[in-house]
Amino acid sequence: MTSRTSRRVAALAALVAAATAGCTAEHPAPARLPHHQDSERPGTPSPAGGAATAAPRPFTLVATGDVLPHSSVIERAAADAGGDGYDFRPMLAGVKPVISRADLAICHMETVYGPDGGPFAGYPAFTSPPQVAAALKATGYDSCSTASNHSLDDGAAGIARTLRAFDKAGLQHTGSGRTAVESASPALLEAGGAKVAQLAYTYDTNGYPMPDGQPWAVHLIDEHKIVADARAARRAGADVVVVSLHWGTEWQTEPDERQLSLGKALTASRTAGRPDIDLILGTHAHIPQAYEKVNGTWIVYGEGDQIAGEMFNDSGARDPRGNMSSIARFTFAPPARAGARWEVTRAEFIPQWTDVERGRVVDLPRALSTSPDREDYRTAQTEIREAVLGRGAARDGLKMATR
């Protein structure tokens, strides 16, 4: 890290602390420092050399759905490692071009990690190999939400191992924490001259109670807390506030009433006329759900599972929708005037599908361009497109991207 970047990080950390100085002891002021975005990304200004700060420019943000390594997924990663540990990079190689080209890339890690040597387990109480984190970083991700109904599958130890692996890989994270201070801190990123804060929350932890003495271990959905956290991030200097929500009803394409009402309330929240939240990213339902622009702000109700094994729905039937998902891609442009929001000027989605036979995540438009006769690819893409556009997002400009 250069001295110039160090000064910027220290200044922003001070702003974060000042903005939340009135928080209670249960929700202390965030103190974790922001991770400066990889300066080698195309179009990202380099902080080195003491040159003048580049003018703000548009940036792209991509986000994907649940990483849910079932036992079959873990077995595939072991095979891909050739008997030496676990390698999840080949699974994600098909979508790496899309993820790595974005200025910022956000994932959702639904499970917690086991000890370095295992044992590891799939459903119902997941403990995944920590090598997942390195694969996410290698694919191009910058930050991941970690609040889910499986966050406490292995108690506080599972959270600690997961976040330690993220730190080692160089990935930001938000939604759970090892300490009260860490838990209260958003993931702080930077792109296009904008400071981007990511917050994350889950509807439940499958009935597991918070660890003793750690009521802050996992962020639970609470409308007032989310708004308060978003406003604190804004006061701390965030130009763009992204909220990741683990919510909704499994196997239901339509967003449920809770999603609709909470989404409407969160997007309506404003301070001095400016929206407190700039983007909502949803996970949990296992299948693709709609995108919708509500009160001028985009909501992705559910992206679907990005990585999962063979999926069975609530009736016990094999359901191929459980391996369908979308990559959300939004282009943010600098505000037209001081104090205004960074506006989404382009909204896109890219259908993706986990080929469980091969253990690979497939960028469907790209795959169909080279294999147009694959009926399974075409069927999956059609179903994803219909779900994503199911609430009329095309009228607000959402388009399916082909690359």
Q: Can you give the residue ranges of every domain in the chain?
A: 3-36+54-400
Cα angle vertex 295, ends 393, 336, to 5°? 95
C-alpha distance from residue 245 to each of 1, 38, 149, 204 (Å):
32, 26, 11, 11
Q: Which of 126, 171, 131 is nearest to 163 (CA)?
A: 171
- Length of the chain as a residue count: 403
> Does pLDDT of 397 surpass 60?
yes
Using an 8 Å Cβ cutoff, are 141 and 130 in contact? Answer: no
What is the spatial distance between Cα 244 and Cα 153, in angstroms, rounded to a whole number?
20
Instruction: Tell me what the mean pLDDT of segment 31-60 comes to.
Output: 53
Q: What is the pTM of this model?
A: 0.89
pLDDT, residue 83, reads 87
Burial of 23 by CB count in 10 Å (0-12 exposed, 13-18 middle, 19+ buried)?
middle
- Give the mean model confidence (pLDDT) for residues 216-220: 98
CA distance 145 to 327: 15
Helix (H, G, I), strand (E, B) or coil at 174: strand
User: What is the pLDDT at residue 21?
Assistant: 36
DSSP reduced 3-state for 80: helix
Give the H or E element holding residue 391: none
Which residue type does 13 have?
A
> Which tokens hold the place of 314?
């609530």
Mean pLDDT confidence for 388-399? 98
Q: Is the pLDDT of residue 398 over 60?
A: yes
Contact 143, 174 (CB under 8 A): yes
Q: Is the pLDDT of residue 41 over 50?
A: no
In order of 59, 66, 183, 307, the CA distances from 128 in angstroms are 32, 13, 21, 12
> What type of residue is 40?
E
Mean pLDDT of 298-320: 97
- CATH topology for 3-36+54-400 is Purple Acid Phosphatase; chain A, domain 2 (3.60.21)
Instruction: Report strand pairing: 274-275 vs 270-271.
Output: antiparallel
Rg of the chain over all Cα atoms, to the nearest angstrom? 20
Over residues 187-192, the mean pLDDT reads 98
- Report, in this order, helix, strand and coil percent for the chain, each rounded to 5: 30, 25, 45
Q: How many Å apart are CA 52 and CA 294, to the nearest integer?
A: 38
Tokens of 248: 């909704």
Q: Catalogue the E-assigned strands of 203-323.
A: 240-246, 270-271, 274-275, 279-283, 291-294, 297-300, 305-307
**pLDDT range class, residue 39, cuts 50, 70, 90:** very low
Which one-letter DSSP state was computed for residue 215? T
For the chain, the average pLDDT equals 90
pLDDT at residue 338, as a whole number: 87
Give just the sign of the alpha carbon dihedral 199, 202, 205, 211.
positive
Q: Does 400 score more than 80 pLDDT?
A: yes
